[in-house]
Structure 1
Amino acid sequence: MGEVFAGRYELVDPIGRGGAGAVWRAWDHRRRRYVAAKVLQQSDAHTLLRFVREQALRIDHPHVLAPASWAADDDKVLFTMDLVAGGSLAHVVGDHGPLPPRFVCTLLDQLLSGLATVHAEGVVHRDVKPANLLMEVTGTGRPHLRLSDFGISMRKGEPRLTETNYVVGTPGYLAPEQLLGAEPDFTADLFAVGLVGLHLLQGRKPDSQALVEHFLTHGTPGAPEGVPEPLWQVLTGLLQPDPRARFRTATGARTALNAAVEMLPAQGPAEEPVQIVDRLGPLPPGFGPEGPGMTEGPGAPEVPTGFGPPLPGPSETGSFHLPPPAAYPPPYAPTAPAPTVPTVPPPAPVRRPGPPPKVAVPVLLLALVSLAVGFWALGRI
């Protein structure tokens, strides 16, 4: 069995890795279900402040994957979220290459819908990219995207946790004004959405710097190969180097995208459907679909087969989701209890006073103290 964290979350197996720590599949003993748990590996004040910000985010939207709960245990902290088993859009592009335009429009519509709600809460994500867009397992049906990893997000007006001349985000998905040290704004997220759209349509990461230089020196370029003109008009509205010339809101971009979809050609009969498969793989020995239980030995049910390959090495993605319980066999039957053999009870041991029990360090309290120290130091940041 795995390590039980804070008396509630049993860590099962690692499924990814981010900048601040590992992401585990974990069993929530209280809610009796599997979750994704991000465990912080560092306990410095800077990391804890980011943890406090991320776990405090509560956004309920079908295309947003925000933290659901948190726990502290000694010098570690974790927070949990839903499990999403289809990997990220980076995996989908790696499997299929360029994606069909109508499929891309569905994904962008879902992303913009989620961002509209995030922005309505005053939050700038600051790290929109394919690796942070997780996919539910839908097979060849309608895809279901979820925006994840709010580790570097911030509310407008909040003090920064980094120096003013320090750029936060993923190279290649940063808006030009971010590279110049501008204050985070919603339009920077929209610029990243445009780059994500190009990535999905072309099957490779776009050269954002060359694209911006072309805009600045030659104006709006023509539609690249494989990008329909109506959809390209929407993407150029997201990719303008001047944030004042971009779409101002995710809702406005979504309206333009829906109008462009009406002008796209119908999907061709030879177009191969995109399949979103389970990428988590089977549960390790000792765990079943209903949690920790018998998975080996006579009479144990077989673990379901047909899973896709496990995630290829460390991943930037945040978390994953298992298929619905109906896809699994019935709960594992408990083993029959061993017959009771009468024995003579041994004499009671002599109790001797021992050291006092170890008291867990209230990590979040330390984080709040560190937050106060951080505000004190803002004058130098």
Structure 2
Amino acid sequence: MTEQQRARAVVGPDYLLAGRYRLDSKLGGGGMGAVWLAVDTLLSRKVAVKQATSTADLTPDAAKAIREQAMREGRIAAQLANPHAIAMHDVALDSGEPWLIMEYLPSRSLAMALNITESLPPDEVIQIGAQVADALTAAHAAGIVHRDIKPGNILIADRGSGIGMVKISDFGISRAKNDTHEENSSVITGTPAYFAPEVARGADPTEASDVFSLGATLYTATEGQPPFGVDSDSIALLHKVAGARITPPRRSGAMTATLLHMLEPDPARRPSMEQVRQRLVTLAVGKNGSPSSVLNQPLRGADGAVPFWARRGARGAGSTTRRAERIHGQTMTGLPAANEGTPLDRVPRPGDASETAKPKTRYAPPAFEPARKKSQTPVYVAIAVVAVILLIVLLFAL
């Protein structure tokens, strides 16, 4: 048995990682690796450790790529110090495999919260957006583009002294501007439901793409589904995103104008992340309010308390895992870009005169636009024909 196979066989609860971090239980996992709760035996604190996808059965080149990706994630996340971003503590090597050692936040993701409530009030979403935008403003200032902003990567503390505080996590596919690592430009990585249109078309992700993805995430929180609807076919969804025609928001209240600005098809017309933060803070506290009252305080509901869905023990009805996968999606790699090179400045924008004058067909999910009954028109025609025939027969009879 090789060293890699041995390591893969014994990794589990109570495993001592790199001689320091004792694994406790698995917190979650996906295409970009599994996350464990562990104890740092040196500092006596709980940490979250991320295990990159196993390299045991990979070719040397593929295994090297996995290790390099983990190291890049560690280096990028370590550059960011913000109270609304999960902190990176260390990169540990165990049997030659890199593990990311991160801050542990007892929390639930925004995706999990939406499994409980299906949608959130705009006032609560504004606060979430302001805190996430604060972290992303710092990331962009450091030259870091997140590239995978979605409800599953936004965490809300659900217990302890920090209950109600919001943090963004998982910089697993982030890129720094000075990163010289080359990628295949013909494929894209991320979560299709939250892609910006230009990314779906094959353009490189930018700070403006992050703004769109945050807008799509906040849209989902208020509307209960992503702006381009739901489609289990990721390729078909990519083409919807590339078309840049969202279903107009109906529940976003005071946030609507800001949300539509973030969801502009043309990245050059979107606000910066710093402008987004300022607008959301202003919506939350008013022009003369203190930004710290929203950025440095836990979420508050209409009653002034931490919302019920953010407290440990809150449960939704029925199976939530299936809905989470259907609504929010998972990070995917190797997706082919859709409609590469199509200029976004030709795509109609919400409110454009040309769009108003000539209505376009929009994708609308069943929740917003009931399906039309195809059988109604033929029935009405048949009734009319029968009535005419009866009238003619009656006239002849008389």
TM-score scaled by structure 2?
Answer: 0.63
Q: Does 1:231 align with 2:265?
A: no
**Structure 2 letter corresponding to 1:3:** Y
Identical positions, percent: 29
Cα pair 1:139 1:276 within 8 Å, conserved: no
Deviations 1:229-272 (A, max 9, x none): x311000110001001101x2111122223334679x9767x99
- Counterpart of 1:276? 310
Give the superposition deviation at 1:62. Answer: 0.7
**Structure 2 letter corresponding to 1:227:** S
Q: Does 1:252 align with 2:264?
A: no
Cα pair 1:214 1:221 within 8 Å, conserved: no
Cα pair 1:231 1:261 within 8 Å, conserved: no
Cα pair 1:20 1:42 within 8 Å, conserved: no
Gaps of 5+ in 1: 280-305, 318-381
- Counterpart of 2:339? none
Query: Equivalent residue of 2:189, what SS?
Result: coil
Give the superposition deviation at 1:312. Answer: 7.3
**Structure 1 letter corresponding to 2:40:** D
1:291-302 maps to which residues of 2 (within 5 A)?
none
Change (3 A) 1:28 1:210: same
Q: Does 1:165 align with 2:190?
A: no
Q: Does 1:47 align with 2:47?
A: no
- Counterpart of 2:144? 123
Deviations 1:314-372 (A, max 9, x none): 9999xxxxxxxxxxxxxxxxxxxxxxxxxxxxxxxxxxxxxxxxxxxxxxxxxxxxxxx
Give the superposition deviation at 1:179. Answer: 1.6
Q: Does 1:17 align with 2:29?
A: yes
- Counterpart of 1:5? 17
Change (3 A) 1:308 1:139: farther
Q: Does 1:68 align with 2:89?
A: yes
1:1-381 maps to which residues of 2 (within 5 A)?
2-43=14-55, 44-57=63-76, 58=78, 59-138=80-159, 143-207=164-228, 213=243, 215=245, 224-228=249-253, 230-247=254-271, 249-261=272-284, 273-278=307-312
Q: For residues 140 and 312 of structure 1, what CA distance do their matches in structure 2 show?
A: 27
Gaps of 5+ in 2: 1-12, 56-62, 230-238, 288-299, 329-398
- Counterpart of 2:375? none
Change (3 A) 1:22 1:212: closer
Higher relative contact order (CA closer than 8 Å, sequence separation 6+): 1
Query: Equivalent residue of 2:217, what SS?
Result: helix
Tell me the number of residue pairs that the alignment of Structure 1 and Structure 2 aligns: 282
More helix, by proportion: 2
**Structure 1 letter corresponding to 2:53:** Q
Give the superposition deviation at 1:73. Answer: 1.7
CA RMSD of aligned residues (A): 3.6
Q: For residues 109 and 302 of structure 2, what CA distance do their matches in structure 1 show?
A: 26
Deviations 1:6-46 (A, max 9, x none): 11011111111132322111111101111111122333111
**Structure 2 letter corresponding to 1:29:** T
Q: For residues 140 and 26 of structure 1, what CA distance do their matches in structure 2 show?
A: 20
Change (3 A) 1:160 1:235: farther
